Chains A and B, each alone.
Chain A
Amino acid sequence: MSKKLASVLTRTVIGIAVFVVVVFAAGIAAGYLSARGTIASDQAVFWLVAVVSVSAMVGAMAISVAWMRSIDEAAREAHKAAWFWGGCGGMAVGGVLVILTSLPQAGTLSFPSWLDGRTDPAAYAATGAFAIMLLMLMGYAVVWAWWWITRMRD
């Protein structure tokens, strides 16, 4: 393992530890404010999850930047190709589903959402977003594996 990658892993572990502490502190603060009646419990949960999700995504992006800088150019090229071709391929498959579900005939279909069986518009929107992300990630994984196996095998 290169020194750069080891440094990124160390910082990632430290970042996750800090994140856990922040989540714990935010949970205590939200619980305290909710118990005092300063804010409603629903609001407390919403703001807690908002803080946690934004922190997690910012942290994930920071780790991604550091990790991308720590790998060599061929490994970076593999990820770039995988995101472009795999991501576009995944979106193309998702695009077909988007077009089909936008037809009036699809109005009679009943799909379970992926959020605990909820059937409200927000749950369906989240299900659609998850589905596109999943398809893009599947495309990414396939193209990355193809790129790596065809070029980097011994």
Chain B
Amino acid sequence: MNNHLKALRAERSWSQADLAEQLGVSRQTVNALETGRYDPSLPLAFKIAHVFGQPIESIFTED
């Protein structure tokens, strides 16, 4: 699964730690999400969508 997390985070000038705090996960998890090495659960995906104010399908796309 691909995602635009890094770009969305950069637009807001947030660090990985900033985003991690808002999502309630570790910074390493945010890094793993951004690099596509870890796919989030559905609840986390919804939380990410809520934080960025966008629908899930605009943040995550199929390979």
Q: Is B one of A's binding partners? A: yes
Residues of chain A whose beta carbon lies under 8 Å from any beta carbon of chain B: 2, 72-75, 77, 150-152, 154
Main SS of chain B's interface residues?
loop
| A interface SS class | helix
Which of B25, B26, B29, B37 contacts A150 (CB under 8 A)?
B37
The interface size of chain B toward A, counting residues with CB under 8 Å, comes to 12
Which B positions have Cβ atoms within 8 angstroms of A? 24-26, 28-29, 31-32, 37-38, 40-41, 44
Closest beta carbon of chain A to B23's beta carbon, Å: 8
- In the bound complex, residues from chain A placing their C-beta under 8 Å from that of B29 are 72-75, 152
Nearest chain B residue, comparing its CB with the CB of A78:
B38
A154 to B38, CA, bound (A): 13
* Interface hub of A2, A77, A151 (most chain B Cβ within 10 A): A151
**A148's closest neighbor in chain B, by CB?**
B28
Is there contact, CB below 8 Å, between B44 and A73?
yes
Known interface pairs A72-B24, A72-B25, A74-B25; A152-B40 also in contact (CB < 8 Å): no
Q: Determine whether the beta carbon of A151 is less than 8 Å from that of B24.
A: no
**Chain A residues with CB under 8 A of B38:** 74, 77, 151-152
